[in-house]
A and B are shown apart, each in its own frame.
Chain A
């Protein structure tokens, strides 16, 4: 990032009445007054106050704005749970081909055989990777996949005349989306404790299953957990749930740790979502788009959302005539542009290669764990899977340097901060996920920065608390943003 590129004005503040960035051909269909074509009462009174700029000004404005951002292309992003791996450029090339980018979602099936073949192959690949029977690509993002999965669980129990199964068990280390999803699916959340080793407390699970009995619809579990730990007793957990007629839902946010290493279907998972933008590398684009396919075992196949892509006589078709489907979860068929990129990643690696992806991701995480364990408190003993979770409690106790301060100081040293204050059960947590695409030299530089900060926290804590000082802005007044909300620009 170069400060010379920093832009402070809003696009509206550069606007000059009468400027244009785009001109369009004159009408070749006459100039009939709009009042004669549209009902007079429906016409707009005042035009929207959009900015008016030349193309150069627009290009320069947004180019300069980009200079105020970190991105994977410029900076290491060790964001735990977010899996910020490299986004290969061939994916962008593929997604921009007219046969993918300029296809209308309601074109007849026979005109979109390429796209449907790709989507069908991706569904098959995801079923293979997860060890489950089928997959839907329709959900828009991970949380949307969760909702789709939980709605299928609900439909399954209703179909078996067990509508009383209205409760979903969720470990206390789970992502916030899990409980939020259960609520909007019309069910209740019951929290399950983590044991001292950071894994699900089986005693608590047995107790909850005992008390709730036939009310448990499913357990939503993240494996590896948000603590970066493989749930060693996952087979036992699945057995306990299945004995009680409940299903096992897996949050696949951390699937990057399991490619070719273990298949959720093989350890008893009935349904799971995958975050294509994490494991299968979709550019995060400053927060979206993503895609959240859901893979299911045989018993949930009838409930998959529509449309479904089926292969019939050598051709692919979209079909909606499935009587037990949960219905449509959005317009059309998911985010196909994301499918192109995800499938390209899978094909770039092949089966052996995917296992090597996971091996490298886990090797990188354990390397960071090993290099930082003396300077920072480890939340739980290793080895970890794809991410290492530390706590800044030592630094807090010592000089009041918090995880937040460490995160901000990392920005000054040229790294995006790790995920902080999550999972909630680790105080002052620093959750570091390096991913497989980072070379050792980058990890070494990051470790050096973290060790520098640990030293500063002990010797010159104010330096850490005042960070960052090298960015276009220093720390923000977030209270003011809530108490005096300004949610849009207005002319002064």
Chain B
């Protein structure tokens, strides 16, 4: 049972990280153009260097 004192906080922390990640993506408007985002990975613009 000793192992629970580690496992429960770890599982909560990992889940919480996922939640924080989701909140971040939602706040930064990453779900506004799902179709566009799925197509943009196919374009070769800015492949050699990131967009300034």
Q: Do A and B come from one complex?
A: no
